[in-house]
Each structure stands twice: as C-alpha cells, then as structure tokens.
Structure 1
Amino acid sequence: MQVMKWSALALAVTAGTTQLAFASAQSESKGLIEDTSFDIFNRALYMNRDFRNGATNSASTSANPAGYREETGLGIRLLLESGFTQGTVGVGVDAHSLSSIKIDSGRGKYGNGLFDQTGDGRADDTQTEVGGAIKFRVSDTVLKHGNMFVGSPVLSTDDSRILPEVATGTYLVSNEIEGLELSAGRFTALSSQASSDRDTVELTEGDIFGASYAFTDNFSAALHHGDFEDYHKKTYLNFNYTLPLADEQSLNFDFNGYRTTDEGDALAGEIDNKIWSLAAGYTFGAHTLTLAHQRSSGDTRYSYGYVDGGGTVWLNNSVQFSDFDAQDERSYQARYDLDMETFGVPGLSFMTRYITGDDITTSSGEEGKEHEWNFETKYVIQEGAAKDLSFRVRHAIWRANDAYNADYSADLNDTRLIVEYPLDVL
C-alpha cells in the first residue's frame, strides 16, 4: 500500500524523465521458455467459528444449527508464468489450476467459506478451476488479458481461505519511470473463494485506475479509483512514511482512506460512506508496537467484497473477523509484534492486538459496540528439504452488545490452523 496522489503526478512524470532506466525489463528478456517459472503452492486450513450463544442465537441458527462451524480442507495451486518472447514487444502466457479437497465438513458445520455447497446442503468433496491469461510487455509496461489475481486497493482478490478469488479482465501496469507505477484495468467477472464458477457475482463491468509514487525510500503515496457498473464508485488514498531513528529503531505512519457511493441501479443498495485509518508503529529491534485509529462516517457502512473482491479493505483496523467499518463507527487498536530471529529462532514470530469500536449506528437506534482480540503465531522452516514449510495459528475473540449482535453477528471465537508449503519446480 505504498503509492501516490494525483496532485503530484505531473511533477513526478516531469522529474522522472531523467530517471529512465538504461535497460528495461523487456530488453533483458531471456525468452519465453528461459524465464518461465512453475510453482506448486499447498495450503491446509482448519477453521472453527464457535458462536458463544449457541444454536439459539438468531444470527447463527440458519447456517449452523449446531452453534458452530468447523471445516478442514486442502488447496493445491499450480501456477505457471512464462517469460516473454524477445524483441520490442514481448508475448507470454500465465496459467493456473486451483483445486480444493474437503477433509472434514457437514451440513451442521458448513458455512466458513471454504467450499461450495451441494444441493443437499453439504460441502463439495472436490473443486477444480483452471484459467489463464495472455500477456504483452513493451519496455517496463505489461498488459495482461484473461484470468488473474489482482492486488489493487479498489479491486483485491481475497486469499483468506483455501483458494483465492480470480478476476477476469484486462489489466495494464506501467513502471517506466523509477518510483512511479501507473495501472488501469477493466474486469468483467469475479469468482469467489468457494466456487469454481467463472463469475460468481455476475459482475457486468468494473473499471479501476491507480497511481503510486515513492518520493523517497521512506515516503510514498497512492491514489486509486474504481467504478463498478450499477454497484458503486470508490476512491482510495494512502500515505506511508517511515522515520529512521537510532540503530534498529524506526517510526512508521500509515494512512488509508476510502470514499464510496452507489452507482447506476445501485444493485447492492444505497451506499454513502467515508472511512479512514491512521496507524503509528514503533519498531525497536525484534519488537514493534502499533497504535491505530479508524473512523467511519456517512449514511451507510463501508461496502466491499461483492463485486470488487473480498480483500478490498486496506484499512488498519480490518483484522481477523471484523473490519470495524460500521456506520459512524470509531475504533482504536493496540498491537504488539515480536520477531524471534533476534533471539536465535529465525522463522518464528508472534502477534497480538486488541481493537475496540463504538458509536455504531444500528437498526434499533441504540448505540452499537464491538471489540476483538487476536493472537497469532507462525513458524517457517528455514532450511533443508522442508524449507519454507510454515505453520500458523490464528485465534480471534469477538464480542458485541445486543444492538450490534442483531445487525452483524452473534458473539464468536474464530480459530484457524494453517499449514502452507510452496514448491518452486522451475
């Protein structure tokens, strides 16, 4: 999230003409086959959401009569990225195969978003999706058309379950000037994480534009805009600054903001929201302490995740379960990170954070309140045959008052065990 504002774009382009690289990425191409990579990414995920009020709570009975959701699955991704042919215009292809295998689920435990659902209410045993894209490169500009994973603040394919979302469209990314990245795309389909359908949400058309610029090694900014036909328009702004202090000490400031309104036929309903977050993180050696504040205003809550991808919430208080993005909500976060490499255990890390939100406008007219505590630990094997194999535990405790329970969710505990193993074949 380290990109740029439009008011500085003209100056950046003018100044950047003296920073053009002598050799572009295309001029250094070794060829279609020579630069090809082929990776296999494996992810096993156990996920349990325990609704603390059980099956009697109205927010949980329809989806999980047992009072909890518990599922386990395995995802296997085959990812092929070719190089580019040599010459002024390079041509290449990307291809992927995404497969999921159900290890454990059931009608009473289904609903965590890991699998598609069969006609009798059970999770699909297996799912497979294949896709690909053709790509062209001129100098340091790449145009891709087809199926792809996207990481824009206004269209971000989600990868929080077994398999990622996949967007279909045309996407242009240009890095001709050092430090400046320009992007533009038009997308016409989006598949969910739990479905092999090409267009789960029946997206008609979504256009996105963006610019990012690194003014210095420590300061960057960004401006992105998305227009999704008959759903919404969204603008995103980011500033990120790191202030070096003494040895192994630094202070980082990160600002993120969205302005979202409905568009056309407003198929997702009325949308009118402004939301921003500001975080300050102090790093000293192996430790990082972060404080963040987030504020939402307007006639509705922040809207995302249907036509623009489930990852389109680049906000500091978007955490494991809640995004703290309700109408008029104010939220505060305190977070602590620890990297154990300093203490002789490379690959081991810990994180904990607490977020509290209040002043929420609810349908009952009473003030809504929520709070969430997260704990996470991860270990990545550093060498040997199992190098890069990782083990991760995530746990969240989320609670709200009755007014917000009725609008959002029942109280719950969310536990996830994640094992990932990337293999670089080529």
Structure 2
Amino acid sequence: MRFSAIFLGVIASGFLSTTQANSFIDDSSVNLTARNFYFDRAYTQDESGKDQKDWAQGFIFKANSGYTPGTVGLGLDIMALAGFNLLGSDADDYAASGLLPSSPSGKADQYGEIRWTAKAKVGKSTLHGGTLAPMFPVLFSSPARLFQQNYRGTHLQINEVDNLKIHALYVDRVNQRDSTDYEKIKVGNPNNRFKTAAESSGLHMLGAEYKFNDQISAQLFHANLHDVYHQNFIGAKSKHDIGIGHLLGDVRMFVSEDSGQARAGHIENQHLSGIFGLNRNNHTFSLGYMQSFGDTALPTLAGSEPAVFLDSMSADFTNINEKVYHARYDYDFKDTSLKGLKFMTRYSKGDDIEIRNTDNQTFEQDALDFELSYRVPTGKLEGLNIRTRYSRYRNDIPPVGMAFKSDDEMRVNIDYTWKFK
C-alpha cells in the first residue's frame, strides 16, 4: 500500500467511516522536501553592526488529503517542518538573517513545528481554516527563507464561474519565517517609515481574479489591517504574439490609507509599477518603472515584502516618492543540451528617495542582481533544483538605524522533493 494511503488512512479513521474514506485517501498526496539554504549578506557601508550569515538544512513534510464524498466534502492537510543549523556556534558571530530563530542567547541549533489546515468543498468552491500561506498582492506570504511565512485564519475561494476566482479571507496571527510561534500581525516599518510598527487584531481581504482569455488576466483586491491601514490593488497581465516573439506586460497599482485608530500614524500612498518585455525563443528582455506618490511609503506587513514586480533581495524600492528604473534579461536553455538551466540578470535604480526625519534630503539606491538555476529534467534526480543568487546593492542613505544598507549578498538553495504518490 502506498505511504500516502497509510498516513492519511490513519487520519481518516478518526472521523470517517470506511465507506466514506475512499475519496479522502484516493485524491491524497504526500511529499517530503529537503531544502539546503546558504545565506551570506556582507555590509559594505555600516561598520557598527554585524554581517548576516547562516547555513541551514530544512525538511518540509506535507500530507494533503482529498475530500470525502457528498454535497459537502471534508479534508485535512498536515505540514511538519524541521530546521537544523549547519554553521553551529559560528552562526552566533553573525546577525540574524531570518533563516533561523534567534534570541539574546544565540541562534537555534534546531527547530520544528507542525501545522494543520481543515478544508471543505462544495461544488467547485473551497473553504480552508487553520494554517494559510496566501500569495496575494495585498497579503503575500513570504517564501524567501528556509520556511515560508504563514498565517492563521480562514479562506473562502469561490470558483463557480469559469475563469473567475473570488476570495474572502480573514487572518488574525502570523507565524514568521524564523519562528515557531504565532504572533499578532504588524505593519512593516523598515527605515522607520511610519510612526511605529503597530500591531493589529487581524486583517480581512476581499478579491477577485479573472482570466479574460489566454492573453489577458486581471486582479482586484481590498485588504484592511484593522486600525492600521486599508489597501486597494488593481493589476493586469498580458501576453501577445506579435510575430517576432511574445510581448509581455504586468501593471500594478496600490492605493493605501490609514484606517480606524491609525495605530501606525498617518499613511497615504499610491504606488504604480509596470514592466514590459519581449520574449523571443530562449531570450526575454524587459524594461520596468515604479513610482511612489503620496505622503508615505507603500505599507506592507512585517516579515513580508511588497508584491511589486521587482523582488529585490536587499531592499524593496518602495520608499516615499521613490522613482525606480529597471532593466532585466532572462535566458532559458530549454532548447539546448543544458535543458533545465536558466540565467537572469537585472539592474534597478531608485532616486528621489525621501526618508522620515532626515531634514528633507533625497537619496539614491541601486542593485545589480544575477541568478543561475538548474532543475534536473530527467533521470533518478529529476526535480533536483539548484539556485544561486548574487546581489550588489548600494545606497547613500545614512546607515545608522536603517534596515537597508549597502551590501554584497549571496544565496544558494538546493531543493529536492520525494513524492510518495
């Protein structure tokens, strides 16, 4: 008998009869991912603090059931995480990177947790409650460390109309990437952008995603971080064959204001971003632009990053009134003997940056990034993924008390997943 059937059969027996359990088990999946993560961020500007360096091994076990038969199908997803410090006591010589839990006594040598999500299905629509990892523009569960950030809450997804997904979601606690505990959700406050990193009782979100055709899709979302800020998002993506290749487009607009008791102080921002590219055979070249308008920076949640098209490693490029110019080149070796290999490089330049409490000065920042990844396409090691990233980031912002400082950064990931079904 398959491992997945054994594992989920034990779970099913606790609350299902034998006649009900077939669909619950038959549509199940069980997999184990081994993730090796090396993180090295060396600061070039600020000599008062420590560099960040960690090396960790993680294991991610997921067991996802199917649904029971009937008008209302029930299911259960289980996730278990285990992380191990591979630098040993040397890790304490460096500042926390978000890869491992840390405390005044040092970084954890090992840590783990178990999370669960109950689910129900009626027709094509689903309801999930428990551990959630939402990946929406206004609520983005960061995957940028050993384990993904997740939230505690409930998510209803309605799929009854073709090509349309409607979302209603509420979360009240967050489990950060370097923690095993749930805590209150806060607004992110890098570079002291707001009055304080205010806590909230929870966040609710409503949204819709619609695919007009194979070329155009759109998103519309609203989120409210209770008594801190509310945020609206509209975005559209496109892909058109223009003969010499495919023209790619991605435009996003955030509009944010403080709400309720405004616990983080005044928030007022409009953020516009867009990137357009041409894909021809294995090559893709893109140009992008972002700009912040309003009295403050774009608000995001603590421990996350803004869902703009630029996923920079060392900074978020969303400061007050910042203008960002961006160029990117990708090459996919899919039609060569090196199938599975991909290369990316990009350059981003931000200027006219304003920082609170700096006497109306303006600043600049830029980043040059490289990425090389390889996924084994066939054979016994099919699915093994190796990803190496390097970033050279510089700014002229006074470093004391700032979250983003000039640095050279390297990240290396090696992932492999065993599928038991």
TM bracket, shorter-chain basis: 0.7 to 0.9
- Choose which of 379, 385, 389 in structure 1 pairs with 2:384: 389
Residue 60 (structure 2) aligns with: 77
- Local SS of the residue matching 1:343: coil
Structure 1 242/209 Cα, relative in aligned 2: closer, same or farther at 3 Å? same
Residue 173 (structure 2) aligns with: 189
Residue 224 (structure 2) aligns with: 227
Q: Deviations over 1:178-232 (max 9, x none)?
A: 1101010111111100000022646512101111111111011110111111221
Q: CA deviation at 1:108?
A: 2.4
Q: CA deviation at 1:34?
A: 0.6
Residue 380 (structure 1) aligns with: 375
Amino acid across the alignment from 1:107: D
Residue 285 (structure 2) aligns with: 289
- Larger mean Cα displacement after TM superposition, 74-83 or 358-367: 358-367
Q: CA deviation at 1:251?
A: 0.1
Residue 310 (structure 1) aligns with: 304
1:253 paired with 2:236, answer: no
Residue 9 (structure 1) aligns with: none
Distance 1:245 1:310 in 2: 37
Distance 1:125 1:151 in 2: 29
Distance 2:160 2:255 in 1: 29
- Larger mean Cα displacement after TM superposition, 405-414 or 159-168: 405-414
Runs of at least 5 residues in structure 2 that lack an aligned partner in the other structure? 1-20, 186-198
**How many pairs were matched up?**
384
Residue 159 (structure 1) aligns with: 143
Q: Deviations over 1:86-144 (max 9, x none)?
A: 11111101111111111115332131111111331x11111111111111101100001
Residue 122 (structure 2) aligns with: 138
Q: Percent identity?
A: 26
Contact 1:317 1:331 in 2 (8 A): no
Amino acid across the alignment from 2:359: S
Residue 366 (structure 2) aligns with: 371
Contact 2:100 2:178 in 1 (8 A): yes
Distance 2:95 2:402 in 1: 21
Contact 1:338 1:349 in 2 (8 A): yes
1:271-290 → structure 2 map (5 Å cutoff) = 271-290=267-286
Contact 1:39 1:423 in 2 (8 A): yes
Structure 1 389/359 Cα, relative in aligned 2: closer, same or farther at 3 Å? same
Structure 1 323/100 Cα, relative in aligned 2: closer, same or farther at 3 Å? same
- Larger mean Cα displacement after TM superposition, 88-97 or 105-114: 105-114
Amino acid across the alignment from 1:85: T
Residue 49 (structure 1) aligns with: 41
Distance 1:53 1:399 in 2: 9
Q: CA deviation at 1:316?
A: 1.8
1:110 paired with 2:103, answer: no
Q: CA deviation at 1:157?
A: 1.0
Q: CA deviation at 1:271?
A: 1.8
1:213 paired with 2:210, answer: yes
Residue 298 (structure 1) aligns with: 294
Residue 30 (structure 2) aligns with: 38
Contact 1:252 1:280 in 2 (8 A): yes
Structure 1 214/376 Cα, relative in aligned 2: closer, same or farther at 3 Å? same
1:340-419 → structure 2 map (5 Å cutoff) = 340-362=333-355, 363-402=358-397, 407-419=402-414
Structure 1 293/274 Cα, relative in aligned 2: closer, same or farther at 3 Å? same
Residue 101 (structure 1) aligns with: 84
Contact 2:184 2:201 in 1 (8 A): no
Residue 322 (structure 1) aligns with: 315
Contact 1:229 1:264 in 2 (8 A): yes
- Larger mean Cα displacement after TM superposition, 271-280 or 195-204: 195-204
Contact 1:190 1:203 in 2 (8 A): no
- Local SS of the residue matching 1:32: helix
Distance 2:154 2:333 in 1: 42
Structure 1 364/107 Cα, relative in aligned 2: closer, same or farther at 3 Å? farther
Amino acid across the alignment from 2:91: G
Distance 1:403 1:119 in 2: 26
Contact 1:93 1:133 in 2 (8 A): yes
Amino acid across the alignment from 1:418: N
- Local SS of the residue matching 1:342: coil
- Local SS of the residue matching 2:98: coil
What CA RMSD, in Å, does the superposition of the two structures yield over aligned residues?
Answer: 1.8
Distance 2:400 2:298 in 1: 18
Amino acid across the alignment from 1:264: G
Amino acid across the alignment from 1:415: M
- Larger mean Cα displacement after TM superposition, 284-293 or 394-403: 394-403
Contact 2:200 2:227 in 1 (8 A): no
Distance 1:375 1:273 in 2: 31
Residue 132 (structure 2) aligns with: 148
Q: CA deviation at 1:263?
A: 2.1
Structure 1 381/415 Cα, relative in aligned 2: closer, same or farther at 3 Å? same
Structure 1 310/33 Cα, relative in aligned 2: closer, same or farther at 3 Å? same
Runs of at least 5 residues in structure 1 that lack an aligned partner in the other structure? 1-28
Q: CA deviation at 1:266?
A: 2.8
Amino acid across the alignment from 1:360: I
- Larger mean Cα displacement after TM superposition, 397-406 or 328-337: 397-406
